[in-house]
Amino acid sequence: MTSVTSNASSAPSLWLRRPVPRAAASISLVCFPHAGGSAAFYTAWARLLPPHVELVAVQYPGRQDRLTEPAAQSMDELAVAVAEALHADCPHRERVLFGHSMGASVAWETALRLEASGAPPRHVFVSGRPGPRRQRPGTVHLRDDDGLAAELRRLDGTHAELLDDPEVRAVLLPSVRADYRLIETYRADPAARLRCPLTALTGDRDEEAPVTDVAAWSTATESVFSSLVLPGGHFYLVPQAERVVAAVLDTCGAPTLHPMFP
């Protein structure tokens, strides 16, 4: 596992987004997007957080305001860069990490590196992803554009009308393909263990991350492990946002600030 070192390309301003800045917060909730996803996926969560918790969403290269940058080629490259950015960002704060789908593995690998650097997170949440010993290689990244778009439609995580627009597809699909290549060729170290508590979440109808496979995250920490199953498919956390955030905030000792919707 590569150690954390200072690197200009991993500056917090490149990697971290704050939808609602809270300079006085004592806890950073660091959120990692799914394959093809961006930091904006978590923007609405910021409205659910109390004043002492700041949402910090990770922005991978190759999308939105980082569109011209090359996507990460390996999990080690990505996790090291995020760990470096977090190491330089608000070092006095406690951190809670949350990752969904591909982001679950990125969060776990980042947490391992933070622990190795002496800056362990308070808690790690992994969502919609089988545990390290249940992960399997995939071939979605080898499909043509139509096949890749069909996979996104199947998972129901991307607005279908966006995938019908050729110009949008031309911008969106390269980063999606790069992310799928990264996660489908990634091999977790089955012996690696966090020292902090770990919670695994999934939807009860998620074919990508069945409940029994998600429960295998129990072997990925030496500390307390817990799990939460909520109604829904792979993107269960969109309609279940308030319940997910409430579960996360329970580790921070605070309730949600107010409902997401009026």
256 in Cβ contact with 242 (< 8 Å): yes
Q: In whole angstroms, what is the distance from residue 93 CA to residue 51 CA?
A: 14
- As given in the structure block, the two tokens for residue 57 are 């969403």
Between the CA of residue 247 and those of 71, 199, 242, what are the distances in Å?
32, 9, 9
Strand pairing partners for 97? 30, 124
248 token code pair: 């996360």
Tokens of 93: 């704060």
Separation of alpha carbons 141 and 31, rounded Å: 24
| DSSP H or E stretch at residue 261 | none
Q: Which two tokens stand for residue 98?
A: 């949350």
Round to whole Å and give the CA distance between 121 and 68.
31
User: 108, 194 in Cβ contact below 8 A?
Assistant: yes
Assigned token pair, 85:
């950015």
**Pairing, β 16-17 against β 53-58:** antiparallel
Backbone angles phi, psi at 27, to 5 degrees: -130, 135
Active-site position among 10, 28, 101, 127: 101
Is 101 in the active site? yes
In angstroms, rounded to a whole number, what is the distance separating the alpha carbons of residues 175 and 67?
Answer: 8
Residues belonging to the active site = 101
